[in-house]
Amino acid sequence: MSQKETDILSVLQAKFKDTSVQVQPQQLGKVAVIADATTYRDVLKALLEADEKTAVIAITGIDLGATLGVFYHIRTSTAGIITIKVEVPQEEPRLKTISDLMPGAAFDEMEVTDLVGVVFEGHPSPGRLVLPDNWPDGVFPLRKDAKLDNLQFKPTPPSEPASPGNEDIVKIIIGPQHPALLEPEKFALKVEGEIVKDVQPRIGYVHRGIEKAAESRTYLQDVYLVERICGICNACHATCFVEAVEKILETEVPPRAKYIRTILLELNRLHSHLLTLGHAGLEIGFETLFQYFWRDREPIMDITEIISGNRVISSGMTVGGVRRDINEADIPKIKGMLTSLRKRLPFYKKVYEDEPSIKMRMKNVGTLKREDALKLCIVGPTARGSAVDIDVRKDEPYEAYGEIPFKLITYNEGDTWARMNVRMDEVEESINIIEYALDNLPTGPFRVRVPRVVPAGETVNRVEAPRGELFYYLKSNGTAYPERVKVRTPTFANIPAFLATAIGSNIADVPPNFVSLDPCFSCTDR
């Protein structure tokens, strides 16, 4: 462990020496802390004091039999991931909320309430998050004894009237079917004139119950399942999952597989960023920009098809390596396509930096200050646009990122324009990474055999998806089926940023603001 990590460990050990809190190094990230319902808030406060960049990554709810476990996964800038494990009895599942200490944890708590049934006292806005409105009460899908056949759905509650009370405030509902959104989610905006006064999100339209489904499929089948959490960042989900399994199995993946995985991951990032940059054009009415970006995005899809056989969902990862090797004969063609894309980049960069109508629509829109970004636990390009320099590829290198040089991009302005420019620059970095990887591809096998049955254990893992940090918690129980798979996607963490920046802005600023955080609701709802 590095010096700083040891510090956190010794701080925790010193502070909680004589209490019931147990500190376990090298468990579930860098440190696992076993606390109970009375002490976990103190542990969190200690971590917050020690490091300003402490943030809640995720809260896992898990059915442990007699008790319900609530695991708080905390990210610190110096010590990686620290997990605080708390258990509450099944008959009396109540805990105090931590959203007063960390506002960004509010969403996570709502999800645990929905899926496992733990009630968080003092939560600012309790309610359904991912389950539908007509879900029957008392049925918690992630509990082992949940009866999910023949559910008796409640009648759908009526929607609120259009103009509640105050005549000046008009309620505008964006979604579930709306041209600005590719996915169904509902945002109820309360506007006065053209200024947005309040935003109430309702997500859960894309909740497919993946975490529960993962428990009834083998690890190999789960790779295909988690890939389809999101078609846009599919390689990242697959990678995070297989890496977690490999950590429990303590398998060493061959170097060639690591490089191929890196290439597929960066191709994912490229196509996702180009998608967003073009989509932003649509949102501000700049159709021409959208068409140009997507035209130049097509070669990336072709490259993905050459390497993996499919344009979108590459299915390249498997436990122990990658499924297909890269054909050496294809490499010159791939590099040729990347070179022609690279030639187009200065033109696009100039458009995003200098074009007056883009600047009018994007500058000073949705500004998120650095302190707010830290408090709300924002990740990814959204955070990097507000001068927060977090990137899992640099903080905790995985696959081949430790060996490949690349730059971490941040901008200071914190507005929509900055966020889009972060993505624009990352496009160039991604092309650099892929070319480096192709040039330095190690020889050797591209996968190793792994056993079908995974011994009991638990681990956490994270990768840098195009939208930010993607986090998985995996628990295995000695069979061929996982015990619990918990996914925390970057958009889930970033939605509070949108809510905070949308209030007080124009209606017309809402779409560009929305696109700049690059929402992916199929990731969020799972």
Partner 1 sequence: MFCDWVERKIEARMQNRMGPTFTGPGGILQPFADVVKLLTKEDIVPGGAKKTIFRIAPIISFSIIVFAISFLPIDGAAIIPNSSFAGDLIFIMALITIANFFLFLSGWASANPYSDIGASRLLTQFLGYDIPLVILALAPAFLAGSLTIASIAASQYLPFIILAPWAFVLFIVTLQAELEKDPFDIPHAESEVVGGLETEFCGGKLAFLRLTRDMQIVFGAALVVELFLGGPYGPVFFGFPAFWYFLWFVLKLLAVVVVTEYLTCLFARLRIDQVLTANWKVLLPLSVLSLTLTVAVATWVYPLVM
Partner 2 sequence: MSKLAMWARLKSPWVLHFNSGACNGCDIEVVALLTPRFDVERFGIKLEPSPRHADVLLVTGSVTQQCAERLKRIYDQMPEPKFVVAIGACACSGGVFKGNYNVLNGVDKVIPVNAYIPGCPPKPEAIIDGVVKLLNSLKPEKPAKKEKKK
The residues binding partner 1 (CB under 8 A) are 162, 170-173, 178-180, 194, 281-289, 291-292, 295, 355, 357-358, 360-361, 506-511
Region of 13-21, 102-110, 305-313, 325-333 interacting with partner 2 (CB under 8 A): 305-313
DSSP bridge pairs for 172 = 189
* Tokens describing residue 236: 């990242």
Q: What binding mask, one character per residue, do residues 244-283 give for partner 2 by CB under 8 A, x or -?
A: -------------------------------x--------
Chosen residue from 5, 7, 42, 133 binding partner 2 by CB under 8 A:
133
Beta carbon of residue 301, minimum distance to partner 2 (angstroms, whole number):
8
Q: Please give the residues from 306 up to 325 whose contact with partner 2 meets the rule CB under 8 A.
A: 311-313
Q: Of 322, 317, 320, whose CA–CA distance to 224 is shortest?
A: 317
The whole-angstrom separation of Cα 481 and Cα 493 is 28
- Please, which residue, 22 or 357, has the CB nearer to partner 1? 357
- Relative orientation angle of helices 255-283 and 234-249, to the nearest 10 degrees: 150
- Only one residue has tokens 């690591």, namely 258
* Number of shown-chain residues binding partner 2 (CB under 8 A): 46
54: tokens are 């402490």
SS3 of 169, please? Answer: strand
Per CB under 8 A, contacts with partner 2 among 182-211 are 182-184, 204-210
Beta bridge partners, 465, equal 468
Q: Which is nearer to partner 2, 51 or 296 (CB)?
A: 296
- Nearest Cα neighbor of 347 from 419, 284, 297, 293 is 293
Binding letters toward partner 2, positions 325-364, x by CB under 8 A: ----------------------------------------
DSSP code at position 181: -
Q: Is 159 in the site for partner 2 (CB under 8 A)?
A: no
Whether residue 176 is preceded by a cis peptide bond, meaning omega within 30 degrees of 0, is: yes
| Distances in whole angstroms, Cα of residue 524 to Cα of each of 92, 117, 503 | 28, 19, 21
* Residue in 416, 461, 522, 524 binding partner 2, rule: CB under 8 A: 522
Q: Does 213 bind partner 2 (CB under 8 A)?
A: yes
Residue 506 DSSP label: B
204 binds, among partner 1, partner 2, none (CB under 5 to 8 A by kind): partner 2
d(CA 485, CA 295): 37
* Closest distance to partner 1 from the beta carbon of 31 (Å): 46
- Shortest spacing between CB 354 and partner 1, in angstroms: 13
Distance CA 382, CA 380 (A): 5
230 binds, among partner 2, partner 1, none (CB under 5 to 8 A by kind): partner 2
Contact status, residue 348 vs residue 478, Cβ threshold 8 Å: no
Q: Return residues touching partner 2 (CB under 8 A).
A: 131-135, 141, 148, 151, 153, 156, 176-179, 182-184, 204-210, 212-213, 224-225, 228-232, 234, 275, 290-291, 294-295, 297-298, 311-313, 520, 522
